[in-house]
Amino acid sequence: MGRDEYGYARLRIYELNTIEQAARRLAQLRSAGVDASADAVTAPREINGELVAPRSGAEREFNAPILKGSDEAARPDQAFASPQVEINLDRLSAMGYISPLAPSSRRAEEFRMVKRPLLNNARGNSAAPVVNANRIMVTSALPREGKTFVSINLALSIALERDTTVLLIDADATLPAVLERLALLPARGLLDLLSEPDLDVQSVLLRTNVERLSILPAGTLQDNATELLASKRMSTLLEKLEARFPNRVLVFDAPPLLGSTESRVLASHMGQIVLVIEADRTPQRPVNDALAAVESCPVVMTLLNKASSSEAGSYYGSRDN
């Protein structure tokens, strides 16, 4: 495992010629007789990062989560009274995101490397237990380094795991992007839950056509977003979410760490942080400052994004306190 000059292990995500890749993948799927618009449940699944054949309906019914949880949490998503949204998987794939219909793509392989150590911690399989390891925040020093790109791909990758459900939370209160990136209509979400404590969590969670993936949008933008994220209500909301769905991994698409305090405040609630660094663009100073800002988080993984594919090899890991 490679370590950088700060002693942090790194993972690289390559910039792809995404349109070309996606077109090739769709052609492959079609020639293999796969209906690319089919529901995700017919696609191969993963167990601990290994691809497995599609499961039968009966198997799906009794697929118990392996993270610790109550009976309520073991119910499939379909039991929740949350609105359902339809993500256009072909479009997503053409944009270079993981498609549940092409789980052996290079992108899916890259994110298998990213999620493996994170899930090991979340499942309590690490050498030392990590507090709140199911809460994973994706952040970066500066805007546009790829936080939303990484958050969505990480959530899709975790949803491919047979026994783990994932809630993707858009916590970038000033520049929310998850719904727009997925071509979904604006909806209420996190900020509404924080400003209206009586609002029912389930009424704003969005179930998706990707099995085991739900979304909590950022919601209605508010002037006091930083205060809301810092408030006791945020801790209470996270506890409420976890009490209701204790087997879920929460992936937070967070704001950048430098220039505002929101992300630092969020970091204090997290067990694991993925720090996205844009290759060949982000100078060392902001990276150092960002790392210092999340120093107290138990696990910080750095992820070198948009690395050029001419760079050899890929390696990954994390710093455990």
Ligand X SMILES: Nc1ncnc2c1ncn2[C@@H]1O[C@H](COP(=O)(O)OP(=O)(O)O)[C@@H](O)[C@H]1O
List of residues contacting ligand X (CB under 6 A): 13, 15-16, 96, 140, 143-149, 177, 305-306
**Rounded least distance, CB 306 to ligand X, Å:** 5
Q: Measured from the CB atom, is 148 or 157 closer to ligand X?
A: 148
Q: Measured from the CB atom, is 95 or 238 closer to ligand X?
A: 95
Q: Measured from the CB atom, is 130 or 190 closer to Mg ion?
A: 190
**Rounded least distance, CB 305 to ligand X, Å:** 5
**Rounded least distance, CB 177 to Mg ion, Å:** 4
Q: What is the dihedral of CA 187, 189, 195, 201, to 10 degrees?
A: 120
Q: Measured from the CB atom, is 130 or 250 closer to ligand X?
A: 250
Among the listed residues 147, 248, 264, 319, the single contact to Mg ion using CB under 5 A: 147
What part of residues 160-219 is at the interface with Mg ion (CB under 5 A)? 177
Sign of the CA dihedral with 149 first, then 155, 157, and 159 last: negative
Q: Measured from the CB atom, is 19 or 64 closer to ligand X?
A: 19
- Which residues, at least 6 apart from 239, have a Cβ–Cβ distance to it below 8 Å? none
Give CA–CA dist 134/124, Å, rounded.
9
**Rounded least distance, CB 182 to Mg ion, Å:** 12
Contact 192, 199 (CB under 8 A): yes
Q: Measured from the CB atom, is 149 or 245 closer to ligand X?
A: 149
- Which residues, at least 6 apart from 105, have a Cβ–Cβ distance to it below 8 Å? 21, 25, 98, 99
Burial tier of 81 (Cβ tally within 10 Å: 0-12, 13-18, 19+)? exposed
Burial string for 244-271 (b: 16+ CB within 10 Å, else e) reads: ebbbbbbbbbbbbbbeeebbbbbbebbb
Query: Which residue's Cβ lies closest to Mg ion?
Result: 148
The neighbour count for residue 214, using CB atoms within 10 Å, is: 24
**Rounded least distance, CB 167 to ligand X, Å:** 18
Residue 143 interface partner, choices ligand X, Mg ion, none, CB cut-off 5-8 Å depending on type? ligand X
**Rounded least distance, CB 63 to Mg ion, Å:** 32
* Residue 148 near Mg ion by CB under 5 A: yes
- In one-letter notation, the amino acid at residue 243 is A
List residues near Mg ion by CB under 5 A.
Answer: 147-148, 177
